[in-house]
Each structure stands twice: as structure tokens, then as C-alpha cells.
Chains A and B, each alone.
Chain A
Amino acid sequence: MADVSQGRSNVPAGGSQTAQTQTISGSKGLDFAEPLIFEMGHAGRVGVDLDDVEVSDDRLNGKRRAEKIGLPDLSEPQVVRHYTRLSQKNYGIDSGFYPLGSCTMKHNPRVNEKLARLPGLGDLHPMQPTSSVQGALELIDSLADWLKTLCGMPAIAMSPAAGAHGELCGMMAIKAAIEARGEGETRKRVLVPESAHGTNPATAAACGFSVDSIPANAQGRVDLAAFKAKLGDDVAGIMLTNPNTCGLFESDIIDIADAIHEAGGYFYCDGANFNAIMGRIRPGDLGIDCMHLNLHKTFSTPHGGGGPGAGPVVLSEALAPFAPLPYVVHGEDGFDLIEHMSDSDAKPFGRLKGFHGQMGVFVRSLAFILSHGADGLLQASSDAVLSANYLRCQLQDDMSVPFEGMCMHEVLFDDTFLQGTDVTTLDFAKAMIDEGFHPMTMYFPLVVHGALLMEPTESESKETLDLYIKTLKGLIEKVKAGDVQLFKNAPVLTPRRRLDETAAARKPVLRWTPPNAEE
């Protein structure tokens, strides 16, 4: 999930703290000063030993490269050290608590990495004859079965590459279903709650729909009356996140589903928050027509600094015929792949990406699912929800909870507790970094002021949660004591202090250029 701090000035208004200990090398102990690879190259070095083959009579149609590319030449030890040092400037879930709301930063088991790299999986070519990849197709089919059963839905599209790509898949299926009814030209409006992830309205727009925003009620949920008032025969569907981005279950969800169906529309559910309900609630029982699952959230595949992900989409009977190509079927001689319209007995809306889907992510997800089993997944959801409620109850007297009652797997605070102090949500988050915690999601959802959205997941011990609570309480004491400068200066213990995002956007420098090429 995105936070919305980009574009707003990140630089404190006051002066910077005095410079820390200066060193001759620029490195500070384990915090190394590391140049760009382009500043480290030296002709004559190489990091891979390859024969110097000359191709005298090449067959390149006269398009042989005339000039050098400009890549730096480095040896293997330099490369290994460079990336090791860069890694040390990063915070990961392996490093510490990462309560980033809507992102489900849970433990990434290493056995999953090992299995994804097995010969016969990691090295399979996507265009091998299907007879030579029966195990791979069985794996996809098996994961598909688990996901369909967990969701109580009859069909699934496995190929979407990420959550937003899954949204695209779901909305395209809805578009295809509406077109099949002959209403493609009339049903062009999609209802999206104002608390939705930014990808929701962006996806609806990418499918040629107009976006109509639905307000929230005082309980942080869809205003049912306002929603119903917006229904009409030009509505294609609703895109709703459940549990929603305020960390709350949409208690009117069955009424919402009934109403949208009655109006002739479809129900897209953003499944980013499925971690709250695995094994306890099936989206199919709520009247949902399609929902993407973020395998890189709920099913623990590593986020990898922003991907890759996978976003399979479960589909209702109504939308199943429109699932995209390709898909796995049980054929006469084992598993088969349907890759072409003319081989399909359904009505696929088209193709979403190259080849068959994020297989490397599927292997990791299936390993995670098999490890937990039905009992473990249910327990994981319960623990995630319990941990979020524990944070809520322990912090609600010190911070401000905009919506009362039980939360799901994430808990939302607003910045009322900071009002009149000069300390902003951003300042507060930056001070958490100095305390060794990754901040929560900030300024999202947009429905409350200065949002702080915390998602602890099931991966944290009570000791970690208690230390986090104690730390936040201690920081709040400092806010109350008027120690504003501490927050304005933070972080001070990181490889870099606050960075000037405004300058970065105003005059973008998006690549390295050789010194003599600079203007």
C-alpha cells in the first residue's frame, strides 16, 4: 500500500541538527559510504569470465553496435561488496517490525525460496511442450484449488502479476460480462468508496469506466443509503475493499452485494486485506463476483523492494466464462493449457501478460499454504486480528482512534492526538525509525486526518508488540513534553536523514551521467 507522503515537503522547517561524527572516509562504522557502480568502473576488469569470440561474418543486417554502451567494468568481489553494502542501508521484515498498514509485511519463510529454485521449477521454460511440464501445471492447479476453496468461489484467473493487475483482470471480466449482455455502451459508471486504494479508481479508468465516489459513514464504512442512491442502470459495478482500509469489516456487505446485483451491476472486492479472514469468512458467501488475492501479502511471498507480486482473481459463476487466457484444464492425457481463443469453450476476455503467470510466486505461496494448512491459516488470521486489536486497546488512550469497536487485522489512528503540538504524522513516523521500527502507513486512508494505519500481521511475538507499544507511548510523552525538535529532526540514526523530495520532483535527476556529459 502506498503512503501519500511523496510530493509533500519532507524537510523540517527548522535547521538541521549539528553534523554527526565526521570521518575521513565518509563511512561511519558499519554505515558505509558507497558510490554508484558507474563511479567504480575501470576498463580491463570483468566480473564474468567469458571467451572473447570474434564474429567476423555476422548476420546482424548491418545493425552492429557502433559505439560502446557505457557500462562500468567491475570484478566479482567489488560487485558482491557493493550490493552487500547497499543491502545494509535497507530495512526489511527480516530486520524488524514492519507494521505498514495494508501491506501485510509478514515473515517470508526461506524454504519457499529454496523450493522456487528447484530444477524442474525455477528453470522451466514457458514454451516447453505441455507433456513435459505436467508437474508445473499440477502445481498451478493445486494452488488454484486452495484459493478457490478458501474463497468459496467456483473459478479463478491465475495470470495477473500483482494486485493492481488483478483489479484490471476483475474489471475487464466485468466489462466483458456487461458487453455480453449488450449493455457495454450504457453501463459505464463504477462506484468506488473514498477510502479505496488509489489503484481502484485508476483501474476503473483504465477499463474506460467513469468513477463515482461513495462517501463513508460515521462508523468508517460505506454509507449504505448514499450508495443505494447512486445505483442506476448505468452502473457497471462497485469496487469495495473488505475488510476496508480503515481496518473495519463492512458489516452491510451482504446488503451491498444484493443491491448492486439488483441494479444489474457486479461486485468487485479488493482482496488486499484477506489476511484478516482466511478460513473464517469466504468472499463467495458475501455475494462477491470477483476478488484479487495479493499472494505477496496474504500468502507471504517476499515484497522484494516493490515486487514481483501475483494477483490471482477468484470469480463467481457469472464472471467465470470471461476469465483471461491462458488457463489450466484437466485434459484427457493429464493437464493442459488453454492458450488460444479458438481452443476455449468459454469466452475469455483476452490476455493480461506474457506466458502463464507468476510461477515463481505460485511455488512460494503453495509452500506457505501447505505449511499452514487449513488450521494454520485460520490461526494466522486470528493472530493477525488479535495483534491489531491488542495494539488498538493498548494505544487508544494515548493516540486517537477515529472509529470505535473491534478492528480487523489493521488498526487506524488519526492525528487528533498530535493536534496543537506542531508534530505531524510524518514527524512522528520519522521518530519511530530512530527507535528501530519501520513506520506504519501514513496519510492513508484519506477519510481521516493524518492517518496512521498499523498492520502487525501474525508474525510478531507479544514481546515485540509490547516493546512497540512502550516505544510509541514514550514518544507520545515526548510530544506532550513539547520536545518538538526531536521529531522535526528525526531520523538522525539512519544512513540518510530526511531527503528533499520536492527538489527531486521539481528538477528530476533520474539517472547517472558521466561527469563530462553534464551541462
Chain B
Amino acid sequence: MRYLPLTDDNRAEMLAAIGAKSAEDMYCDVPAEALLKAPLDLPFHAGEMEVEKTISALAAKNLSPSSHPSFLGAGAYRHHVPASVDYLIQRGEFLTAYTPYQPEVSQGTLQYLYEFQTQVALLTGMDVANASMYDGATACAEAVLMASRVTRKHRAVLAGGLHPHYRDVTINSTRLLGIELVGPDSDPCRAALASSVIDLIDDKTSCVVVQSPDLFGRIIDLEPIAKAAHAKGALLIAVTTEVISLGLLEAPGNQGADIVVGEGQSLGNSLNFGGPYVGLFATRSKLVRQMPGRVTGQTQDVEGQRGWVLTLSTREQHIRREKATSNICTNSGLCALAFTIHSALLGEEGLSRLARINHANACKLADLLAKVDGVEVLNDSFFNEFTVKLSKNANDVAEALAERGILGGVPVSRLLHDRDDLANMMLIAATECTSDDDMAQLITALTSVLSEVL
């Protein structure tokens, strides 16, 4: 077996050295009835070529967004990742390192995490960020838990435009700890967005969770919500599922947010059918000791040279056990590396241009779609994704488009399942990868699908 360096004569010699006659002897502490008597009924080993064939065959059964026009978003976005990102993250010293518990031989990981934390803090307009969470949805849940620790209050207000996965993960994480969640229904047609959450804030509110751009793509003015929250001693948690938007939109930290969480997949990370992604978590300095997750800090070595270590670990499970701020241990280190390299390549100017291209393409696409019979664009504001109301069931339309080789958009019902009023609505995204030809193909196909009897 190509991955196993021990040979049969090595094994014999080592068994003799430990005083065992066979491998079975090493399992002498296992109850006899628990030891399998025969090998499991599963295939035996395979060579590299064979494994490649098997998995490539599975890949070939899927419709690849790289070779078909795709307008899918809803919290995961297709962006062009420069080749050097993927090359660099595969350097073995990054790829095959463990968590940097021995800082003297982990300065590479620690320095890039420190750079990542700085980039996230800058993008969100916050003071500090952690070294990543699993994804945006789990980061959102952790933020709501943190708000209860900070405010010692246990009722959170979730805005209607919060991504349903984020909402569901938050419900799941808070329910068992007695945190109550309230909020208006999701409604892409509602006009007075701010008042729908402001009206729910009271003295018992620990935090208000607002996503912008929201699920339907709308850009929310966070400032009045922040003021209302702060007036009642509650925190504002701002959520973004498309980090590229921060290249063009006012940072949540400049609008009064106390915690900013988000999905960082768009920078450096491919879609991967939904994971692994990279959760972003940033907050104010004064709240840092309630922040969950690993964090890297600057220090000096015994020769006075600048270096980095994991720090504030007295918040974490391996020290605090049941009193920890979170049970998180493994995070998304390598995805954070991809994020940080892509951000370094873009820089200030590159990220600004990328964001403008995304917005320009979405504007162009929205204008084209608005002219199609049976399509109504619902948004007044958006970044690179918006909601359309179709004359037919959006799920049926998505399937019909997929049959034509087009990944048309995410039916809202895929996320908000039991709402008849949303059955014809679809989320449509455009990024820098969306060409004029892609748009033309969508318009042609959609025109045809909407005019046919499905």
C-alpha cells in the first residue's frame, strides 16, 4: 500500500520488540466479543489511477458552473480566484501543519492569521477579528450567544432579511440555552425594513441581527437600527453573506455595528458544493474577551524579535472547559489563508474595482431582466444579487433552465419552503464571472421558458 512505509519484516521486528506475536495481541484490552472475526464487507485497496477514475466519474455526473452560465448566489458566490492563491495554499508547510500550538515552528501560520484578522477588521470597520469560524451561519449563531454574555439579556431580534440557514443555525444554537428569538417574517416586498425590527427592540433585547445586503439583495441602512438598539442597551450584529460587497458599501462598523459576522467564501475559496467555507467574526476591542474562537496576537521572543502566538486562550475550551466562550476548536485556517492571499492580491484598488464590476454587471442584468415578459425585478437597491418575481413557479423555471444548461437562480422556496406567496420568486446573482454572453443566454432561455406551458 503506497501510503504505508512499514514492510512485513519491519512489522515482524517491531512486534518482537514489543513482545507481541501478532497485531491481535496489541488489542488484548478489548473485550473479545468486540473484536471483528472477519474483514468488513467492503472493497479492498485501489491504485491512484483507479481512485481518480471513480471520483472523476462522479464529478462528470454534475452540471459544472465553470462551463455553464450560472446566476446562483444566496450566500455562496462564484468568483474568479487567481491561480497563485490555490498554488500557495497547497504549499505543504501551510497545508499539512496543525494548529500553531508550537509558535517557534508556526510563525508562517501565525503571521498570516494576524494579517487575516487585520484585513477582516479593516473590511468590516471593526477593531479586532478572530482567526475564523466554520462559516457565516455558525459565526452568526456565535455572535448571538456572545451578545447574551455581554448584555446578560436573552432575547434576540432577527431581521426578516436574514439568510434562513443563518436563522436556523442560530435557533438551533440558542434554543437549549434559553435565548428567545423574535423577528418579522421574511418579505421581499416590505418597504419599511428598519421599523420592522426597531419596533421589536425593548429593554430585554440582547441584540438585533441584520443582514445587508439581505437575503433578497436589498441594502439596509444600519444606522437607525444601531441607534435604536444602543438606546435599549442591545448590540447590533451586522451580517454579510457576500464579503466582496464591502469593497463598495459602507463598512458595518462605521454604521454602529458592535459585532460583524459574515461568510468569507467569496475571497479565495471555490464553491465546493457548500463547504468548507470561512466564517468571519469581528468586534469592538472592549468586547474581545467575550469573543469566541482562536485569535493570534503579536509579541516578542527572548531575543526581542517580533513574533506571533495564539493568545487569550483563557476564553477557550482547552483551558476553560465547560466555562469556555464556545466549544469551537478546529476552525477554517486554510480557507482563511485563501481569503487573505486573494485579499492581498486585490489590495485597496483591486477590491474596489472588483466590487464595482460586480455591481455594474448586476445593474446590467437587472435592466435586461426587467424587459422580459413575466419578470418583475423587486429590488430598489442591491449589490450583486436581487430578487425577481416570475410569472411561473420559480422551482419549475430553475429546473427548466438547468435542462437547457443554465443555472438560472435560486428559487426563494429552496430557502423559505412553506411560503406560497414566495413560490414564484427567484434570487439572481451576477459577478465578475458573468459575461454579456451569459446574460444573453439567460434572457433567451428565460423568455422561452416563461412563454411555454411547463
Bound Cα distance A90, B102 (Å): 10
Bound Cα distance A280, B26 (Å): 12
Closest residue of chain B to A510 (Cβ to Cβ) is: B128
Tell whether, in the assembled complex, residue B41 and residue A149 are in contact, meaning their CB atoms are under 8 Å apart. yes
| Choice from A46, A87, A127, A394 contacting B17 with Cβ under 8 Å | A394
Tell whether, in the assembled complex, residue A304 and residue B51 are in contact, meaning their CB atoms are under 8 Å apart. no
Tell whether, in the assembled complex, residue B311 and residue A505 are in contact, meaning their CB atoms are under 8 Å apart. yes
CB-contacts of A403-452 with B (<8 A): 405-406, 429-430, 433, 438-439, 444
Task: Sample 8 A-B pairs with CB under 8 A, ordered by A number.
Answer: A59-B382, A95-B92, A111-B51, A307-B332, A353-B137, A363-B55, A496-B305, A500-B299
- A70 on the B face (CB < 8 A): yes
- B449 on the A face (CB < 8 A): no
Tell whether, in the assembled complex, residue B138 and residue A89 are in contact, meaning their CB atoms are under 8 Å apart. no
Chain B hits for A51, CB < 8 A: 353, 357
Chain B hits for A323, CB < 8 A: none
- A379 on the B face (CB < 8 A): yes
| Choice from A123, A199, A205 contacting B65 with Cβ under 8 Å | A123
Among B147-155, B317-325, B434-442, the one that faces the other chain is: B317-325
Tell whether, in the assembled complex, residue A53 and residue B356 are in contact, meaning their CB atoms are under 8 Å apart. yes
Chain A hits for B158, CB < 8 A: none
Total CB contacts across the A-B interface at under 8 A = 737
Bound Cα distance A123, B123 (Å): 26
Bound Cα distance A121, B337 (Å): 21
Q: Which 10 A-B pairs have the closest CB atoms?
A: A355-B274, A304-B334, A94-B92, A135-B61, A126-B274, A2-B318, A308-B276, A47-B345, A120-B59, A92-B96
- B121 on the A face (CB < 8 A): yes
Closest residue of chain B to A124 (Cβ to Cβ) is: B273
CB-contacts of B123-170 with A (<8 A): 123, 127-129, 131-132, 134-138, 163, 165-166, 168-169
Bound Cα distance A254, B379 (Å): 60
- Chain B nearest Cβ from A271, distance in angstroms: 14
Chain B hits for A62, CB < 8 A: 221
Among B27-35, B181-189, B196-204, the one that faces the other chain is: B27-35
Chain B hits for A46, CB < 8 A: 346-347, 349-350
Chain A hits for B402, CB < 8 A: 128-129, 131-132
- A329 on the B face (CB < 8 A): no
A512 and B46 contact, Cβ closer than 8 Å, known pairs A306-B294, A496-B305, A501-B299: no
- Chain B nearest Cβ from A409, distance in angstroms: 10
| Choice from B76, B178, B297 contacting A509 with Cβ under 8 Å | B297
- Chain B nearest Cβ from A431, distance in angstroms: 11
- Chain B nearest Cβ from A310, distance in angstroms: 8
- B335 on the A face (CB < 8 A): yes
- Chain A nearest Cβ from B130, distance in angstroms: 9
CB-contacts of B312-334 with A (<8 A): 312-314, 316-324, 326-334
CB-contacts of A134-174 with B (<8 A): 134-136, 138-139, 142, 146, 149-150, 161-165, 167-168, 172
- A302 on the B face (CB < 8 A): yes
- B387 on the A face (CB < 8 A): no
Tell whether, in the assembled complex, residue A90 and residue B108 are in contact, meaning their CB atoms are under 8 Å apart. yes
- B111 on the A face (CB < 8 A): yes
- A249 on the B face (CB < 8 A): yes
Chain A hits for B453, CB < 8 A: none
- B445 on the A face (CB < 8 A): no
Tell whether, in the assembled complex, residue B319 and residue A79 are in contact, meaning their CB atoms are under 8 Å apart. no
Interface 1/0 per residue, A32-47 and B, CB below 8 Å: 0010111001010111
- A4 on the B face (CB < 8 A): yes
- A108 on the B face (CB < 8 A): yes
Bound Cα distance A286, B32 (Å): 11
Chain A hits for B353, CB < 8 A: 50-53
Bound Cα distance A135, B66 (Å): 16
Tell whether, in the assembled complex, residue B31 and residue A253 are in contact, meaning their CB atoms are under 8 Å apart. yes
Tell whether, in the assembled complex, residue B56 and residue A405 are in contact, meaning their CB atoms are under 8 Å apart. no
Tell whether, in the assembled complex, residue A6 and residue B313 are in contact, meaning their CB atoms are under 8 Å apart. yes
- A232 on the B face (CB < 8 A): no
- A347 on the B face (CB < 8 A): no
CB-contacts of B52-102 with A (<8 A): 52, 54-67, 70, 72, 74-76, 78, 82, 84, 86-102
- B310 on the A face (CB < 8 A): yes
Overall SS of chain A's interface? loop
- Chain A nearest Cβ from B52, distance in angstroms: 7
Chain A hits for B344, CB < 8 A: 37, 47, 72, 74, 79, 82-83
Among B225-233, B242-250, B368-376, the one that faces the other chain is: B242-250
Closest residue of chain A to B55 (Cβ to Cβ) is: A115
Tell whether, in the assembled complex, residue B322 and residue A133 are in contact, meaning their CB atoms are under 8 Å apart. no
Chain A hits for B354, CB < 8 A: 48, 50
- Chain B nearest Cβ from A292, distance in angstroms: 11
- B271 on the A face (CB < 8 A): yes
| Choice from B101, B104, B163, B382 contacting A354 with Cβ under 8 Å | B163
- A206 on the B face (CB < 8 A): yes
Tell whether, in the assembled complex, residue A92 and residue B417 are in contact, meaning their CB atoms are under 8 Å apart. no
Tell whether, in the assembled complex, residue B169 and residue A353 are in contact, meaning their CB atoms are under 8 Å apart. yes
Tell whether, in the assembled complex, residue A386 and residue B4 are in contact, meaning their CB atoms are under 8 Å apart. no
Tell whether, in the assembled complex, residue B51 and residue A3 are in contact, meaning their CB atoms are under 8 Å apart. no
- B351 on the A face (CB < 8 A): yes
Tell whether, in the assembled complex, residue A138 and residue B58 are in contact, meaning their CB atoms are under 8 Å apart. yes
A84 and B329 contact, Cβ closer than 8 Å, known pairs A11-B302, A70-B122: no
Chain B hits for A460, CB < 8 A: 5
A60 and B249 contact, Cβ closer than 8 Å, known pairs A69-B351, A135-B58, A508-B297: yes
CB-contacts of A289-307 with B (<8 A): 296, 302-307
Tell whether, in the assembled complex, residue B100 and residue A496 are in contact, meaning their CB atoms are under 8 Å apart. no
Tell whether, in the assembled complex, residue A4 and residue B301 are in contact, meaning their CB atoms are under 8 Å apart. no
Bound Cα distance A70, B296 (Å): 20
A497 and B303 contact, Cβ closer than 8 Å, known pairs A354-B165, A373-B43: yes
- B23 on the A face (CB < 8 A): yes
Tell whether, in the assembled complex, residue A499 and residue B249 are in contact, meaning their CB atoms are under 8 Å apart. no
Chain B hits for A494, CB < 8 A: 104-105
- Chain B nearest Cβ from A192, distance in angstroms: 8
Bound Cα distance A172, B174 (Å): 12
Bound Cα distance A58, B16 (Å): 76
Bound Cα distance A372, B31 (Å): 26
| Choice from B39, B334, B418 contacting A378 with Cβ under 8 Å | B39
Tell whether, in the assembled complex, residue A55 and residue B356 are in contact, meaning their CB atoms are under 8 Å apart. yes
Closest residue of chain B to A512 (Cβ to Cβ) is: B118
Tell whether, in the assembled complex, residue A90 and residue B379 are in contact, meaning their CB atoms are under 8 Å apart. no
Tell whether, in the assembled complex, residue A279 and residue B250 are in contact, meaning their CB atoms are under 8 Å apart. no
Bound Cα distance A464, B5 (Å): 10
Tell whether, in the assembled complex, residue A86 and residue B4 are in contact, meaning their CB atoms are under 8 Å apart. no
- B191 on the A face (CB < 8 A): no
Tell whether, in the assembled complex, residue A202 and residue B317 are in contact, meaning their CB atoms are under 8 Å apart. yes
